[in-house]
Structures are given as C-alpha cells and as structure tokens.
Amino acid sequence: MAKRVTFVNTNQIKPAIAPIAFDYLSAPMERAGFELNLLDLCFSDDCEAAIAEHCRTAAPDYWGVTLRNTDDVYFSSGYSFLDRIRDIVAMLRRARAVPIVMGGAGYSVMPEKLLAYLDADFGIVREGEFSFPELLTCLEEGRSFTHIPGLVYRDTAGVHVTPLAPNTCGPLASIGPHKRELVNNPHYFAKGGQIGIETKRGCNRSCIYCVEPLIKGRSVRMREPDDVVAEMASLEERGVNVFHINDSEFNLSVAHPMALCAAIIRHGLAGKIQWYAYGMPRPFPDELAAAMKAAGCVGMNFGVDTASETMLKILRRTFGAHDIEHAVNTAKRHGLEHIIELLFGAPGETQETARETIEFIKRVDPERVSVTVGLRIFPGTELEQMIRREGLHAGNPNLHGHIEGNDDLLHPVFYLPTALGPDPQQFIADLIGNDRRFFGTNASLFNYNANDALVEAIAQGERGAYWSILNRIEKRFEAAHNARGCHRTSADGGDPDWSPIEILPIEQSA
C-alpha cells in the first residue's frame, strides 16, 4: 500500500495565493509511489479542527508543510507569521505524530534556524521535486539520507544541513509540464485574481538585500517553453486565464522569454490569456516588448529600487538610470501597463539620493510607482554582513523592529538610516507631494497582507497583478470623483483628500 503524504498549506494571506509548489511536487511524488493529499488551511477559520478532520479521513504517514513567507516584509507593520506557523506545526504533531518536513520559499531563507524554531523533523532547501521523494524513499527503506543535497535534519548533536552545491539542483526540462491538478486553482483564481506560473529558476544578480539566490539558487535554469504553455493551457481550460510569471526576473535573458512568447502564439493561446511579469529595466528591447504584447502580456513590474547612480552601485544593480527611462518609454510604445518599484533606506541613502530618485522618476513619467521605505534585513544577504559590521544591536539608531533577542533575524528587523532625517517616511512623502502616479510611502493600500481593498475588488470580478488592480480601483474612483466636479489640476497636484480608501478601507495586520 502506498504511503500517504499530506501537503499542508499554512499561508493565510489575503488575497489568497495558490501554493504552486504543491502542484509542482505532485508528479515527482506520485512517480516515486506516494499517495498525495492536500490540507489547505488558507481559508480555514479553525486550523485545529481542520487538521483533526483531515486525520480522520486521510491518516497521513508524512506531513509536508510549506512556509511561503516568514513575515510581510513591510516596515510599517513588521508582522511575522512564524508564531502562527509554529502553532500549526504543533497541531499537526498532536493530531498525528508522523515526520514533519518543512519546505517553501520562506523556509529556504534560513532553514536551520527555522527547523529548530518551528520544531519540525526535516527540511528541504530550495526545490523539492528531486530531494523530497528521495528523502521519503530513504525513510521508508531505512537507508541513510545524509547524501541528499539541501536536506535539513536533526540528531542528538543538533540541527544539520547537507551541502547544496550550485550543480545539485536537477534540470527543470527533465520534469516536463505540470498538471496543476492537486491544488484547486480555479478557487484560488476566484479568490486571488491571478495564478502563478514559473518559466525558470535562479537569479545570478547580486542585489545586496535579496533572498532570491538563497531561495532558488544563483544558477539560472530554464523550463522548456512548450511545457510552460501546456501548463497555461491546462489551467485556461478550467477557467484560469490570468497569470503572473513567478520568475525572479523575467528578462534575465532575452532569448528565453522570446521563445516563450513564440510558443504561446504558436499554440493559439495568446488571445485567450493575459499575463504579467516582474523584471529589470535592462534588457528590455523593443522586440521583447512587442513579443510579450503579442503573446498576451498586459503588464510589467520593473523593480528598480532607485534612480540614483550612487545608490544603484551600492545596491549592486546592473543597470543605470538611463535604462529605467528606456524601459518606461518602451513599455509605453507597446501599450504595456507598467509600474516602477522604489525602495529607499539602504546604507548610503541620503536626502539628496532620495530627492534625485523622485525627481528623475517624475520626469520619466511612468504609469504608476510604488514606494517602500526601510529594508528588511535577511540572514545570508550582503546587507546582513554590512549591518553586522555597522552594529546589529539596539544601540544602532538605523535599526527598527524586533532587535532585542533576535540576533538570528528570524523576526523582522529593518534598516532605515538617520541620514534621511528624523522622519524618513514623511520626508519621502513630501518629495512625492500629491503626485497621483505614486501609490505613496509605505501605503497600507500596497501591503498585500490582509488587503481588504484587493479582496473586495477581486470578489467583484477584478483579475490581474495586484498593483494593476489597485491602479484600476484608483482610476474608477478618480472618474467618479471628477464626475462630481472635483478635478485634480495636474499630475503633481490636485485634491489632497482624493483617495480610494474612502470606499475601500484597509485593515492593516498587526
């Protein structure tokens, strides 16, 4: 009789985000001879009761638990999910005392520390298509498992992790297309407004704050475009037709996204779907933008952080301010919705570098801009090393959040230099003024955790990337506002009380 494995989704963020990893794990696990079930706690009001009921009907032999996010990575709230996840792990163990294996993007950021904190038995670093079935097979056969790359385990000496060399991740092409049948993706689409798709893994960039290389590796591995399109087509047949590309950077290369666009068109899917991508301002040539548009892409999110050449160098970004302007103009030429993401507060940030960025972005005139002030310090990043040299302690005035008793950075600690003044958020807000292109400094509207405005809009039929939905909400509100005779006077000014929050209130998690 096949051993039963229950995947447990612990992510309760709203709008709801489908646990893509479980769909991607399902085929390799089934090929290895395991029977799979899903315990999805995303929509559960009583996790303990849901777990108990699942154990009565499924009686799992192993728990596979995903940790998508350690916290909301949001300066204004600093909300950690870890205590809630730890409670869920304890519930699982009480309900059925079988091995608990942790995985997921959030888990891979600090796997040894999280295994101990959450009190799980095993952990999988990065992707689990190869290592997870191998671990359970070894446990079933009573064999040693310490040869499995990226495995976290505990023994009498403590918690250990096996080496994860760059070449230990398996080739994605060998996995083939994903069925996407274990997770109820149509339900998540109705509640979350989009479904994730992955075209490659890994990021070879060196941004000082980013955990993507820890989560997915520095080696960039491509999926076969036809496999990606087959996955999209299978979802589209079930009514899911708006996707978000989950790649770290969609345009790390030009050839692979061009091949994907060609495959979408070749298989006749371009007119049936819409999709969004996250990427860099360079490379973003006209031929790529045109191909994306023809293949059904409607929006591009450019993560640029800053337009100050000084800060671009400090952050180790691989483009210049002129590339940002080029990307915005290219998106406009090809009719692609676009947003520029700014991130203020890295070491070296000053009022002058912040002013330089805001003035440049205003001149370039993108469709929308999001503004975050304060950087979450994650272990394993260059930012962590920089801050430890500066002093990771309560006496450092540049640090905010859970500082005392949190040297391992499990809980959110943010860096925001005093060089930005006594109130950095207000300083940035004053630079922005009433410019409607900007979502605002650390705006609660742009926090995707417990965002009631987005939940309500999606319930009313909105679909797409969350920034795009928010953009449409504001445009509709502005149109209604103007119809009442209240007109803003320019892109930089207007009615300071104008806000969609008047009709779509936000309750910030805390």
- Find out whether 163 and 181 touch, Cβ atoms under 8 Å: no
Instruction: Give residue 150's identity as a one-letter amino acid code.
Output: G
Give the tens place of pLDDT for each residue, 442-451. Answer: 655 556 677 8
- The predicted structure's pLDDT at residue 171: 65
Residue 168, both tokens: 């230990």
- The predicted structure's pLDDT at residue 479: 76
Largest CA distance in the chain: 75
Instruction: Tell me what the mean pLDDT of segment 485-498 comes to.
Output: 42
Give the tens place of pLDDT for each residue, 207-266. Answer: 999 999 989 888 899 999 999 999 999 999 999 999 999 999 999 999 999 999 999 999
Instruction: Tell me what the mean pLDDT of segment 380-395 comes to.
Output: 97
Q: What is the 3-state secondary structure (H, E, C) of 333-348?
A: HCCCEEEEEEEECCCC
For β-strands 122-124 and 151-155, DSSP reports them as antiparallel
Percent of the chain at pLDDT exceeding 90:
82
Of the two residues 442 and 24, the one the predictor is more confident about is 24
With 60 as the cut, is the pLDDT of residue 178 above it?
Answer: yes
Q: Which of 84, 100, 106 is nearest to 139 (CA)?
A: 100
For β-strands 242-245 and 221-222, DSSP reports them as unpaired
With 70 as the cut, is the pLDDT of residue 314 above it?
Answer: yes
Question: 486 pLDDT band (50/70/90 cuts)?
Answer: low
Q: Which of 248, 176, 234, 235 is nearest to 206 (CA)?
A: 248
- The predicted structure's pLDDT at residue 451: 84
Place of tokens 């399109």: 229
Give the tens place of pLDDT for each residue, 102-141. Answer: 999 999 999 999 999 999 999 999 889 989 999 999 999 9
- The predicted structure's pLDDT at residue 372: 93
Place of tokens 């996995």: 175
What's the whole-model pTM score? 0.90
Which domains occur in the chain, in start order? Answer: 4-164 (3.40.50.280), 184-374+416-502 (3.80.30.20)
Instruction: Tell me what the mean pLDDT of segment 485-497 comes to.
Output: 43
- The predicted structure's pLDDT at residue 491: 39
Of the two residues 249 and 506, the one the predictor is more confident about is 249
Alpha-helix residue ranges (DSSP H) falling in 70-158: 82-95, 105-109, 111-118, 131-141
- The predicted structure's pLDDT at residue 166: 56
Instruction: Tell me what the mean pLDDT of segment 491-510 comes to.
Output: 32
Q: Which of 42, 24, 262 is nearest to 130 (CA)?
A: 24
Mean pLDDT (the chain, rounded): 91
In 3-state terms the chain splits into helix, strand, coil percentages (rounded to 5) of 40, 15, 45
Instruction: Tell me what the mean pLDDT of segment 317-341 comes to.
Output: 98
- The predicted structure's pLDDT at residue 474: 85
Question: 494 pLDDT band (50/70/90 cuts)?
Answer: very low
Question: 440 pLDDT band (50/70/90 cuts)?
Answer: confident
With 80 as the cut, is the pLDDT of residue 488 above it?
Answer: no
- Angle at 374 (CA atoms; ends 398, 367), nearest 5 degrees: 150
With 50 as the cut, is the pLDDT of residue 336 above it?
Answer: yes
Give the tens place of pLDDT for each residue, 407-423. Answer: 999 999 999 999 999 99
Distance CA 189, CA 240 (A): 6
Question: 289 pLDDT band (50/70/90 cuts)?
Answer: very high
Distance CA 126, CA 124 (A): 6
- The predicted structure's pLDDT at residue 10: 96
Task: Say which range, 34-38, 307-311, 445-449, has the weakest mean pLDDT.
Answer: 445-449
The separation between CA 184 and the C-alpha centre of its own chain, rounded to angstroms, equals 20
Residue 323 burial by Cβ neighbours in a 10 Å radius (0-12, 13-18, 19+):
buried
Residue 126 burial by Cβ neighbours in a 10 Å radius (0-12, 13-18, 19+):
buried
Instruction: Give residue 385's identity as a one-letter amino acid code.
Output: Q
Instruction: Tell me what the mean pLDDT of segment 456-483 comes to.
Output: 88
Question: 391 pLDDT band (50/70/90 cuts)?
Answer: very high
Give the tens place of pLDDT for each residue, 67-97. Answer: 999 999 989 889 999 999 999 999 999 999 9
DSSP for 469-480 reads HHHHHHHHHHHH
